[in-house]
Homo-oligomer: A and B are copies of this chain.
Amino acid sequence: MKVVKTIQELKEFVQAAKKAGHRIGLVPTMGFLHEGHLALVQKAREENEAVIMSIFVNPLQFGPDEDFERYPRNLERDEQLAAGAGVDCLFTPDVEEMYPEPSIIAMTVTSRTDKLCGVKRPGHFDGVVTVVTKLFHLAEPDTAYFGLKDAQQFAIIDGLVKSLNFPVKLVGVDTVREEDGLAKSSRNVYLTEEERMKAPHLQQALKLGVQAAAQGEENVQAIVDLTISHLTAYAGAAIDYVELLSYPGLMPLKKAEGKMILAAAVKYSKARLIDNIIFTAGEEG
C-alpha cells in the first residue's frame, strides 16, 4: 500500500491507475477506522482494480462547539488496518494541503439539511460537500463508497452528484454493527461502560418503529412516538431527534409509505450517537 500525504503524489497514483485502465474506487473517511470503514473497502475491492482511501478530519464540517480537536485519531493503526483490508493508496493530507489558501467558492446545501442532524449542525453538510467535491476531483473515482449509517450525508452526496453531474457512481454500504446491534462508530470510544450497555437500544427502538410500519401502521407520529418511548425507557440518553422522512428526499410524510428513513440521534455524556433504518413500507424492515 502506498501512503501519500500530498496532492501531487495522489495525482501520480491516479494518473498511473487510469493509464493502466484500472477502475478507481474511493473510500473517503475521517480515519480512526473500524469495521464499518473496512466493509466499504471490501466492497470497493470487489468492484475496482485500484482502491484509494482518504483519511482527513475535515475542519470545515465541524462547528465551533464540535469535536474537531478531540475527534479520535490514530494514523498508525489506520495504516495497518487499511493495508490489511486491501487499500492500494492511502491519502492522508494535512489541513494545509487540502485548504492551502482561502477558497473563492462557497458550496451550500440548499435542501435535505433542515432535518435530522442538519438542524443542530448548521454548515456541517456545506463542509461535507466541499471536501467530497475536492476529493472526487483529486481521486477521480469511478465509484465512491459511503456508509449508510450517515444516511443524511449519503442523501446529500447523492444530491450533490446529481445536481452537479459528477462522473462518479455512489454506493451506499449497510451499517456494520456490534454483535448486540450497536452501529460501529469512531465515536463509540467515548461511551462509558454503562452507556455502552444501553446504547444498543438505539437500534432496538428504531426496529420497533419499523416493525409497526411493516405491520400496517401508517401514522407517522405513532411510529415516532413508539421509538421515542423505547428510547426514553431503555437507552439512558437524551434524545436529540427521532424522525420518519422520505428517503433520499428527506421530506416530511403525511403517512408512512414509500421509501423512508426512521432515524434517531441520542446524546450520552461524551458521545452523540446516530442510527437509522432505511426501509420501504410493505417490505421487510
Contacts and interface: CB of A to CB of B under 8 A. Distances in A.
Interface in A159-184: 159-160, 162-167
Contact of A112 (B104, B109, B137): B104
A107 interface: yes
Q: Please tell me how many copies of the chain the complex holds.
A: 2
Contacts of A165: 7, 134, 137-138
Contact of A104 (B11, B102, B103, B109): B109
Contacts of A110: 103-106
A104 B140 contact: no
B7 A105 contact: no
A140 B140 CA distance: 10
A135 B139 CA distance: 19
Given A7-B165, A164-B134, A111 B107 contact: no
Interface in A102-139: 102-112, 129-130, 133-134, 137-138
A148 interface: no
A140 B108 CA distance: 23
Interface residues of A, number: 30
A11 B7 CA distance: 27
A156 interface: yes
Contacts of A163: 103-105
A59 B71 CA distance: 43
A160 B165 CA distance: 16
Interface of A: 7, 11, 101-112, 129-130, 133-134, 137-138, 140, 156, 159-160, 162-167
Given A133-B164, A138-B167, 5 more contacts: A104-B110, A105-B107, A105-B108, A105-B160, A134-B165
Across the A-B interface, the 6 shortest Cβ-Cβ residue pairs: A104-B159, A103-B163, A104-B111, A137-B165, A106-B108, A105-B163
14 contacts: A104-B156, A105-B108, A105-B159, A106-B107, A106-B108, A106-B110, A107-B107, A130-B164, A133-B164, A134-B164, A137-B164, A137-B166, A138-B165, A138-B167
